[in-house]
Amino acid sequence: MSEDLSNQQVQIVEKTESRTRKFWRVVFGSMLGFFFSIILVSLLYMVMLISMIATFSAASKETTSIKNNSVLLLNFDQSISERTVDMPFDMFGNYYGGQIGLNDILASLKAAANDPKIKGIYLNSSNVGASPATVKEIHDALANFKKSGKFIYAYSDAYSQNGYYLATLADKILINPAGMLDFRGYAFQIMFYKGLLDKLDVDVQVIRHGQFKSAVEPYILDKMSDANKEQMTVLSNTLWETIVKDIAAARNISVDSLNAIADGMLCSMPNDALRLGMVDQLAYPGDMEKILKAKLNLGEKEDLNLIGLSKYKKTISDNSKASDKIAVVYATGEISDGKGDNSRGIYSESFIKEFKKAYKDKDVKAIVLRVNSPGGSALASENIWREIENAKKAGKIVVTSMSDYAASGGYYISCNSNYIFAQPNTLTGSIGVFGMIPSFQNFLKNKLGVTVDGVMSNKHADFGRGFRPLDETETAVMQASVEQTYGLFTKRVADGRKLDVAYVDSIGQGRVWAGKDALKLGLVDKLGSLDDAIAKAANLANVNNYSLVYYPKQKSWYEMLFNNKDDVDAAIRAKLGQLYFTYEGIDRVLNRQGVQARMPMEIYIQ
């Protein structure tokens, strides 16, 4: 009996071990299956990704053939940046804001003027997603195109002011009889956050130099100061005057008459616009095909060959074999310290690295610095200024081409150039600096019930942390830093522009100037475009034959596609629309550090 019992115990143990082995076999089997599934899915994903990249790359290299008797179709109802982000399909352009670069617009217009297959331009644009100086550059490029003797026809259901400004270069302007023409002048509006900050119990402590350095006003006032209102009135009048004079010349209508039309909003309705000579014909979209066919002497059954800018730009190639080079270095966006994405702003360390590549290249005979910046960090601006000085010491000619903005820090990095170009409606100057430290202790205590306490080894160890107001010593230190930076800024301008420091101070004080006025003041040398700046750089470097090289190198489309860093900001911008400026304003209070050389406001002009 004891033997039977022993056998039963062995069987129980065997059964127990069998169940245990079975359990772990199932567990490990499942884990192994899951592991191999992950590998398989990853491999399939990689194959799909490689196939997609190969397909997109092939699409991006597709050649576009242009038929005889073609018309270049231009539509600027999208964001216009300095440089196009190349995407293989237009749908990705929409994902990234539907932007096109000024570089491709200008290159296409220049090529089309000499292309025998392009007979004219059909400008079909309601709005133009750009600031005044960029629009002016496109306007002047269209004017140069017209010198080829080819036609420009413009049509829109409704014209914005920028859209209409470009349309005035057309041989014929057409508008939908049920449409609208927006022509009412320029308005600058600034959002003030003081009331919001008061509600939040946030105190913003400001130290500045410059009567007109009004970048801080939205945080300490609830309306524009008299000094700021003075400068903005002059600025808006100057910018409006620039386009009105061009429109007057194109439409043969006096400036006084155009201002009377704008003041009374007399041309909003298409019939009134036609009666006043602002447009030439009322038409529907379908009528344009007939009009263009008649212009090209095409029969009713013949096809009208329209080619869009995105396709036409693929036909343009730089066949220059010249060993001498002119480098175009883009400085676009806010100026910040340290490293960062050059396509998203001017980060001093990253920008200097790219700028060095240009002036260290022995084949580069001159550099054109293309500036489109409202400024930013004063320290970063000084470091970039220094690198431009190094380029000149290395024997390179440096010419600056100002785009929409080259203000404050943007002017700081420009002033050391051998020659400076601006558009008449470029916003520049703003020679002034400020410091801004928010104080959150009341907000934390009164709104959130949070208090802050601690210990310090020294009296001012917690300086600048934002948990208490500045005391007299700290305010004095900040003021001294601002004054020192302003003094250095004005000296850099005086040395670069061969001016007296006292004179620079008198036209500085943070005041923003239009390019047209900056020319009179000696802050720039000539009014002109990027092409003008390139030609001047070649002339100063005694170079006749040259090719162009561009810095920083642009990211490839797949780098842009898989870089989601800015998706959140883009989503916020899309949701908030014009109220995005409020978000930006508060974000600026929280995150801006150090002494700033920046424009006095965010400007949106229609």
**SS3 string of 460-471?**
CCCCCCCCCCCC
The sign one gets for the Cα dihedral 226, 228, 234, 237 is negative
- Return the C-alpha torsion angle 361, 362, 368, 371, nearest 10: 30
CA distances from 359 to 11, 329, 420, 492 (A): 86, 10, 18, 21
Residue 94 predicted with pLDDT over 50: no
Query: Taking the CB of residue 467, how many other CB atoms lie within 10 A of it?
Result: 14
The band of 466, judged by pLDDT with boundaries at 50, 70 and 90, is: confident
Q: Taking 90 as the threshold, does the pLDDT of residue 181 lie above it?
A: yes
548 pLDDT exceeds 80?
Answer: yes
Q: What is the pLDDT of residue 217?
A: 86
How does the average pLDDT of the chain come out, rounded? 84
Q: Distance (Å, rounded) from C-alpha 538 to C-alpha 402? A: 17
- Of residues 356, 141, 178, 409, the one with CA closest to residue 271: 178
The least confident of 18-27, 343-352, 479-488 is 18-27
Dist. CA 243–CA 248, nearest whole Å: 9
Query: Does 387 score more than 70 pLDDT?
Result: yes
Position 18 scores a pLDDT of: 60
Same fold, 70-184+265-315 and 325-433+498-598: yes
Structure tokens of 166? 């470009």
Higher pLDDT, 237 or 8: 237
Mean pLDDT of the 159-180 span: 96
Find the mean pLDDT for residues 535-559: 86
Residue 287 predicted with pLDDT over 60: yes
Task: Tell whether the model's pLDDT for residue 150 goes beyond 80.
Answer: yes
Query: Where residue 606 falls among pLDDT bands split at 50, 70, 90?
Result: very low
Which regions of 182-259 does DSSP assign to beta strands (E)?
A: 203-209
Q: Is 90 exposed, middle or buried (0-12, 13-18, 19+ CB in 10 A)?
A: exposed
Q: What is the pLDDT of residue 129?
A: 84
Choice between 153 and 447, residue whose per-residue pLDDT is larger: 153
Q: How far apart are CA 507 and CA 519, in angstroms?
A: 12
In this prediction, residue 604 carries a pLDDT of: 45
Q: End-to-end alpha-carbon separation of the chain, Å? A: 104
* List of residues 6+ apart from 46 with CB closer than 8 A: none
Instruction: Look at 209 and 606; give whichever has higher pLDDT.
Output: 209
Q: Which of 232, 235, 180, 135 is nearest to 518 (CA)?
A: 235
- Over residues 11-21, the pLDDT tens digits come to 554 555 566 66
Residues 6+ apart with CB under 8 A from 69: 117, 119, 296, 298, 305
pTM: 0.82
489 in Cβ contact with 431 (< 8 Å)? yes
Sorted by sequence, the CB contacts under 8 Å of residue 595 that are 6+ apart come out as 377, 378, 379, 433, 434, 435, 481, 482, 485
Q: Is the dihedral of CA 156, 160, 163, 166 positive or negative?
A: positive
The residues, ordered by sequence, that sit 6+ positions from 596 with a Cβ below 8 Å of its Cβ are 215, 375, 376, 377, 378, 408, 409, 433, 434, 435, 436
Residue 28 pLDDT class (50, 70, 90 cuts): low
pLDDT at 96: 40
What count of other Cβ atoms lies within 10 Å of the Cβ of residue 330?
24
Residue 53 has pLDDT above 60, yes or no: no
Instruction: Tell me which residue has tokens 């409020």.
Output: 582
Decide which of 589 and 494 is more confident: 494
Overall average pLDDT of the 475-499 stretch: 93
Kindly tell me if the per-residue pLDDT of 26 is higher than 50. Answer: yes
Once rounded to an integer, what is the mean pLDDT over residues 100-122? Answer: 94
Res 403: pLDDT: 96
Work out the pLDDT band at 567, boundaries 50, 70, 90.
Answer: very low
- Place 46 in a pLDDT band, splitting at 50, 70 and 90: low
Tally Cβ neighbours within 10 Å of residue 438.
Answer: 18
Q: What is the mean pLDDT of residues 265-276?
A: 96
Say what the pLDDT of residue 188 is.
83
Q: Given a cut of 70, is residue 260 above it in pLDDT?
A: yes
Residue 325 clears pLDDT 50, i.e. is over it:
yes
Range of lowest pLDDT (55-64, 145-154, 424-433): 55-64
Mean pLDDT for the stretch of residues 180-195: 90
Which helix (DSSP H) or strand (DSSP E) does residue 369 occupy?
A: strand 364-373
- Phi–psi pair at 394, nearest 5 degrees: -80, 0
User: Domain-by-domain residue ranges, the chain?
Assistant: 70-184+265-315, 325-433+498-598
Position with higher pLDDT, 286 vs 29: 286
pLDDT value of residue 363: 95
What percentage of the chain exceeds 70 in pLDDT? 78
Which pLDDT score, from 0 to 100, does residue 582 have?
53
Return the closest-CA partner of residue 279 out of 184, 168, 179, 182.
168
Third-level CATH fold of 70-184+265-315? 2-enoyl-CoA Hydratase; Chain A, domain 1 (3.90.226)
- Beta-bridged to residue 569, according to DSSP, are none
Multiple choice CATH, 325-433+498-598, 3.90.180.10, 3.20.20.80, 3.90.226.10, 3.40.50.670: 3.90.226.10
Predicted confidence band at 319 (pLDDT cuts at 50, 70, 90)?
A: low
pLDDT band at 452 (very low <50, low <70, confident <90, very high): confident
For 415-436, the pLDDT digits (tens) are 999 999 999 999 999 998 888 8
Cβ(442)–Cβ(198) under 8 Å?
no
Residues belonging to the active site: 213, 408
Cβ–Cβ < 8 Å for 99, 152? no
β pairing state of 397-407 and 427-429: parallel
